[in-house]
Structure 1
């Protein structure tokens, strides 16, 4: 059996590979990581193959037709994690080029070799920014190039599955994914509290749907390896109910043995400062009206479908933060 991971050198892919190595790989199985970079590297060196700890790393660009030496087996599974995702941070065309072209090339690769199982990591971005709770059947209204490109990529994968009834497709829309190696929202939130410069922007009840990276990849395993689910399905991947920013901060402090008072700065003060400072350089420090407004909008993603799916969560929210802290030897989340 081959575990074929497109974009496996990133944050989620690294944790997926560790789980596969620990719990899934049997004699004769292969883990193939196809990525534009090797772990920890930058740049592109096409055609080079490296073997590290039983994983075959192949430099590959999903924007181009996928060709490499490959011997298929009956139970092969594809994990499509490849994406341009940081937003803002890229020209608009890069989201479409990588996320849409990548979906087309990966599904063509699956067609060519008769692979019947794909898991695609989408995003909550197709829902668009709004305060209301979003379920999997909520009408998508993406308002960014990233969200639009991910919604189109979902459609491409669904079209692949519909060609043959026995094909299996799982699409996941994770909330904020956190854990060791994230270097993103939760890491900044932790250090903002620890260094006493974080404050609640405008409100304490902003909902921030989230999921621990180790939990997320365990759900991948449940759907694609432990069970058979013919057809296609979409799951919001988040704790249910989703936590508010105040609950997240208080639980993070408890799990990491930290005690901090977090002040609340009223929205009118933030917006006034952003309106004045934004045009003259405030954007560099996050004081821009659009950025401030975004901080005060919930990512209110409903996880009821996942909770009712038969998958048993391995961690509670607090346990996941403690596990992350332990992974970092108690020196702070990173």
Structure 2
């Protein structure tokens, strides 16, 4: 049985990966936070601490590096680079000390930047924020490591789009909650598409890569296809919750006018509001990424996008037997 160390697996995605790999692999978790669901296999530690990593990597055969600073409001911003970039360097140093030659790294489609037209894995990097910049820099560190011994080292980089699922409290949950409330107002025609990934599928894709580790360098976007547009997303909420969602559409210009109004109000009062011109613009934009490479690699997603949304909606808004655990967005 292969010994796999997951670094940063106490969170949303890592918990699912541990769930589905523990039977087949000897998995353990290294994280600065205790795992709610897998405390028995978790060692508390920080990727910024070289000694802790050196000890954690003893007798391991592969690493899945999930640990990252990812929130929009991380302060100081140097933390993005201390954890995401230097942390990756520290992991690689610990791997070299312990003779570990296999790593899977979760990066992000944030490396492509904003408003790109369906970028595939060869699209130039153009990150716009510190999170995206630090993820790209970490990728570069990993690629240099692999190039030093490409015949024997295995590097797989996975760039997921926004990930949603049960217990997650990210942007997709907030949008689904707003639609489910019945107070949802559609700005624009609703034909703009949004790339998403269900947590059960991204976890399965990571396991698929673990099952097929071999020397070499691979990079994949991960998105569940086909993409839903906003009208299809509302229809899925209606179907899953068996309720009628008001279908009022506001013209884009009117939505933007309202957004600018809230911008002015925010400046005058110093308060932050849920509506702004930037958020209206983002809501109405098409955000798509190409994932043909992942879906032609032999991987079969265990859930369709509709099934992932249904499972999430049912758990969050219908199921009465919740365990009360929630995770931040990743």
- C-alpha distance in structure 2 between counterparts of 1:118 and 1:102, whole Å: 14
Partner of 2:295: 307
Q: Give the alignment partner of residue 158 of structure 2, picking from 172, 182, 189.
A: 172
Match of residue 277 from structure 2: 289
Q: Which residue of the other structure, out of 250, 265, 268, is the alignment partner of 1:280?
A: 265
The alpha-carbon deviation at position 187 of structure 1 amounts to 1.6
Question: In 2 relative to 1, CA 250–162 (structure 1 residues): closer, same or farther, beyond 3 Å?
Answer: same
1:228–1:94 distance in 2 versus 1, CA, 3 Å = closer
Q: Secondary structure at the match of 1:140?
A: coil
Return the alpha-carbon distance in structure 2 between the equivalents of residues 143 and 66 of structure 1: 33
1:201 is aligned, of 182, 187, 202, to 187
Whole-Å separation in 1 of the counterparts to 2:152 and 2:168: 35
* Matched-pair contact (CA < 8 Å) for 2:6–2:29: yes
Q: Secondary structure, in 3 states, of the residue corresponding to 1:67? A: helix
Measured after TM superposition, the shift of residue 293 of structure 1 is: 2.1
Equivalent position of 2:14 in the other structure: 13
TM-score scaled by length of structure 1:
0.86
The residue aligned with 1:4 is: 5
Unaligned 5+ segments in structure 1 are 41-51
Count of matched residue pairs: 316
**Cα distance in 1, alignment partners of residues 209 and 96 from structure 2:** 20
Give the gaps of 5 or more residues in structure 2. none
Q: 1:111 to 1:179 in 2, by over 3 A?
A: same
Partner residue, 1:43: none
Please show how residues 112-127 of structure 1 align to structure 2 within 5 Å. Answer: 112-127=97-112
Please give the per-residue CA displacement for 1:191-250, whole angstroms capped at 9, x wherever unaligned: 2122122222334122211111111111111111x2133211111111233222222222
Per-residue CA distance 1:241-268 (angstroms, 9 max, x = gap): 3222222222233233333123222222
- C-alpha distance 56-98 of structure 1, shift in aligned 2 (>3 A): same
Q: Which residues of 2 match residues 39-78 of structure 1 at below 5 A?
A: 39=35, 55-67=40-52, 69-70=55-56, 72-73=58-59, 76-78=61-63
* Compared CA separation, residues 63 and 279, structure 1 to 2 (3 A): farther
Mapped to 1, the partners of 2:152 and 2:92 lie a distance apart of: 15
1:318–1:290 distance in 2 versus 1, CA, 3 Å:
closer
The structure showing larger relative contact order (alpha-carbon pairs under 8 Å, at least 6 residues apart) is 2
C-alpha RMSD of the superposition: 2.4
Q: Could you say what secondary structure the match of 1:120 adopts?
A: strand
Q: Spell out the pairing of 1:221-232 with structure 2 (5 A cutoff).
A: 221-224=207-210, 226-232=211-217
* TM-score when normalising by structure 2: 0.87
* CA distance in structure 2 between the aligned counterparts of 1:150 and 1:168, rounded to whole angstroms: 19
The answer to whether the 8 Å contact 1:9/1:35 transfers is yes
| Residues 35, 61 of structure 1: 8 Å contact kept | yes
Are residues 1:317 and 2:317 paired?
A: no
**SS state of the match for residue 169, structure 1?**
strand
State how far apart, in whole Å, the 1-side matches of 2:51 and 2:105 are. Answer: 17
Instruction: Return the alpha-carbon distance in structure 2 between the equivalents of residues 312 and 4 of structure 1.
Output: 24
CA distance in 1, matches of 2:30, 2:139: 20
Cα distance in 1, alignment partners of residues 287 and 88 from structure 2: 25
Task: Give the 5 Å matches for 1:125-204.
Answer: 125-164=110-149, 165-204=151-190
User: Which deviates the most, 154-163 or 281-290?
Assistant: 281-290
Task: Measure, in 1, the Cα distance between the counterparts of 2:38 and 2:143.
Answer: 34
**Residue deviations 1:94-150 (CA, integer Å, cap 9, x gap):** 222221111111111111111111111111111111151111101111111111111
CA contact (8 A) 1:207 1:300 kept: yes
- In 2: Cα distance, 1:284 partner to 1:192 partner: 18
